[in-house]
Amino acid sequence: MTALVPDTLQGAIIVSVIDFFLSFIIISGIGIVLSCFPLLNRAALFFKAAPKAAHGKKATHASQAAPAEKKADAETLDNIAAIAAAVFVVMDGAPHRILNIQPSQRSASWSTEGRIAQHGSHTVR
């Protein structure tokens, strides 16, 4: 059986030239795959933005349906907007509902007060 590439210096040079050109093809393929990553990021942002828009509509609808018992001052409304925005960012656009926002009656920090409220809502065996 005769070899396709001879086992000589000339055969080694032929294999090296073929490898050289094939490496360009493989590197180009890798470049094409890597250039698709920004497109994947855009697609992910597009699909991720759709639930956020729907969630914003739900929140607007819920706020319009709830009756206003008393008018709050501008500072309170700003605080509520800031809290709602922070919850929205932390939840990464996942559906959520803020049940109650009220001023703190204790002098403890908000984290301590949250722990007290959490542990107070559970019964101990």
Query: What is the predicted pLDDT for the residue at 13?
Result: 94
What's the confidence (pLDDT) of residue 2? 77
Do residues 15 and 5 make contact, with C-beta atoms less than 8 angstroms apart? yes
Band of residue 107 on the pLDDT scale cut at 50, 70, 90: low
Higher-pLDDT residue of 124 and 88 is: 88
- Total structural domains within the chain: 2
Could you tell me if 35 and 85 lie in one domain? no
Mean pLDDT on 96-113? 71
- Is 89 within a domain? yes
pLDDT of residue 80: 81
In a domain, 2, yes or no: no
Locate all alpha helices (DSSP H) within 36-123, ordered by sequence.
Answer: 37-65, 74-90, 110-120
Taking residues 101-111, what's their average pLDDT? 68
The residue range of the domain holding 83 is 73-125
22-68 tens-digit pLDDT: 999 999 999 999 998 888 888 888 887 755 444 445 555 445 544 44
Task: Provide the token pair at 10.
Answer: 């000339």
Same-domain check for residues 11 and 62 = yes
Amino acid at 91: M
Whether 14 shows a pLDDT value over 60: the answer reads yes
Residue 72, pLDDT > 80, answer: no
Is there a domain that residue 1 lies in? no
Q: Do both 35 and 81 map to the same domain?
A: no
pLDDT of residue 19: 95
